Amino acid sequence: MKILITSGGTTEKIDSVRGITNHSTGNLGKLIAETFLAQGHEVTLVTTKQAVKPASQPNLNLHEISNVESLLTTMEGLVKTHDVLIHSMAVSDYTPVYMTDIDELEKTEQISDLLSKSNSENKISSQADYQVLFLKKTPKIISLVKEWNPAIRLIGFKLLVDVPKEELFRVARASLQKNQADYILANDLTEISPTQHHAYLLSEDDSFEAFDKEGIAQLIYEKVVTHD
């Protein structure tokens, strides 16, 4: 089976020295990749320069991306040629459009006018006491996966922060239906530490629990292979 895995977190540039980063070490994606590689599967890992990666090996194909735009371009081609996508990457929801100071904002009658502006400077000046950064929503890559390849098996990820289990399940299952995913790995940041990683792998009707990254990787592996 040809397995496509994403890991790490994207960074959206504000200017040439600053960016908005979604934090993710890449540890879980690395472990999932290693689990499939150990069983002889062919793995393509789409990740970032900063993320940890498995050791180089014959069945492992690496693609480094930085922002959502480069992820989108890379994924469109790869989704079409793989059997399974395990999309564990922390993808930026928003990307910077325009940064300015409060003066310009107060002088602007139509705020929507600022949304079509862009910064000409390479490094945005840092004189004003306050600045304001306008951001726009990035394309939701997970929602495009089944359009690109209706036959691919899709395992999505949903990370929330400090919510009841019921809400985590509700939001994860909504994502499962909306994106036609086969499973969603649902987890809460408050239950992730260097020694534990509590998570649920949810299908439409079932849920399976794991307590650390090894357990999550094993759970995903089993569900992907037993389906065949």
Q: How far apart are CA 53 and CA 9, in angstroms?
A: 13
Regarding 165 and contact with a second copy (CB under 8 A), the answer is no
Amino acid 223 reads K
Taking the least distance from each CB to a second copy, the nearer of 191 and 206 is: 191
Could you tell me the smallest distance in angstroms from the CB atom of residue 44 to a second copy? 25
Regarding 174 and contact with a second copy (CB under 8 A), the answer is no
Regarding 132 and contact with a second copy (CB under 8 A), the answer is yes
Could you tell me the smallest distance in angstroms from the CB atom of residue 99 to a second copy? 8
Taking the least distance from each CB to a second copy, the nearer of 97 and 144 is: 97
Could you tell me the smallest distance in angstroms from the CB atom of residue 66 to a second copy? 11
Regarding 102 and contact with a second copy (CB under 8 A), the answer is yes
Could you tell me the smallest distance in angstroms from the CB atom of residue 137 to a second copy? 5
Regarding 178 and contact with a second copy (CB under 8 A), the answer is no
Q: How far apart are CA 134 and CA 141, in angstroms?
A: 21
Could you tell me the smallest distance in angstroms from the CB atom of residue 158 to a second copy? 11
Structure tokens at 38: 């150990």
Regarding 90 and contact with a second copy (CB under 8 A), the answer is yes
Q: Which of 40, 113, 118, 130 binds a second copy (CB under 8 A)?
A: 130
Q: What are the C-alpha distances in Å from 34 to residues 3, 8, 29, 31, 223?
A: 11, 15, 9, 5, 16
Q: Which of 70, 97, 117, 148 binds a second copy (CB under 8 A)?
A: 97
Burial group, residue 26, by CB count within 10 angstroms (0-12, 13-18, 19+): buried
Q: Which of 2, 19, 198, 218 binds a second copy (CB under 8 A)?
A: 19
Q: How far apart are CA 66 and CA 78, in angstroms?
A: 16
Residues in the chain: 228
Q: How far apart are CA 134 and CA 181, in angstroms?
A: 31
Regarding 169 and contact with a second copy (CB under 8 A), the answer is no
Regarding 112 and contact with a second copy (CB under 8 A), the answer is yes
Distance separating the N- and C-terminal Cα atoms of the chain? 10
Taking the least distance from each CB to a second copy, the nearer of 11 and 44 is: 11
Beta sheet of 183-192, edge-to-edge order: 60-64, 42-47, 2-6, 84-87, 153-160, 183-192, 197-202, 207-210
Amino acid 179 reads N
Regarding 38 and contact with a second copy (CB under 8 A), the answer is no
Q: How far apart are CA 157 and CA 142, in angstroms?
A: 10
> Which residues of this chain interact with a second copy, rule CB under 8 A?
11, 14-23, 50, 90, 92-94, 97, 102, 105-106, 111-112, 115, 121-123, 126, 128-137, 159-162, 189
